[in-house]
């Protein structure tokens, strides 16, 4: 699909809120149905997921403590008629190890986020046989 650039937002998420929920609310408040986002910061007690293909569900890993949000990357599209935030993270632990995956949830200590709205036909996620809700594949 082809898009043009819409509005750009850059902001700090309030300390103590849950990041995925906050970004979902932000997209709803600002009428963003399609976009890309990135961010950096620090999360407390994040939960990250890894999709198990055979079981058609996410295995969730719960990390305890504070982790550097080395990289936050994701997109905004529509699922079940509402904005859906899909995020992947790289998290740096106090031991110097890096953890990564699909961000399920995380409490914000610091989060600086950039969102670029995309204008055009909204991308809609639809349930698939593999257990995921995905956009329609590009036709070749």
Tokens 């509005």, residue? 7
pTM of the model: 0.93
SS3 state of residue 36: strand
Pick from 40-44, 52-56, 98-102, 105-109: least confident: 52-56
- The phi, psi pair for 29, rounded to 5°, reads -60, -35
Contact 57, 50 (CB under 8 A): no
CATH T-level fold of 4-120: 60s Ribosomal Protein L30; Chain: A; (3.30.1330)
Q: Residue 62: helix, strand or coil by DSSP?
A: strand
Name the burial class of residue 73, with classes exposed (0-12), middle (13-18) and buried (19+) by CB atoms within 10 angstroms of its CB.
Answer: middle
Closest CA to 28 of 105, 75, 85: 85
Does residue 134 surpass a pLDDT of 90? no
Confidence tier at 137 by pLDDT (50, 70, 90): confident
The number of C-alpha atoms within 13 Å of 50 and in the hemisphere containing its C-beta is 5
């Amino acid at each position: 699909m082809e898009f043009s650039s819409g509005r750009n937002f850059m902001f700090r998420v309030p300390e103590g809120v849950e990041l995925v929920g906050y970004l979902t609310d932000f997209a709803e408040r600002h009428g963003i149905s399609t976009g890309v986002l990135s961010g950096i910061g620090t999360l407390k007690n994040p939960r990250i997921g890894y999709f198990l293909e055979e079981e058609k569900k996410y295995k969730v890993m719960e990390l305890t403590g504070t982790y550097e949000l080395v990289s936050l990357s994701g997109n905004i599209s529509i699922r079940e008629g509402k904005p859906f935030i899909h995020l992947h993270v790289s998290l740096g632990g106090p031991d110097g190890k890096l953890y990564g995956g699909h961000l399920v949830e995380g409490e914000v200590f610091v989060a600086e986020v950039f969102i670029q709205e995309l204008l055009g036909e909204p991308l809609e996620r639809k349930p698939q046989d593999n257990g995921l809700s995905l956009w329609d594949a590009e036709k070749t």
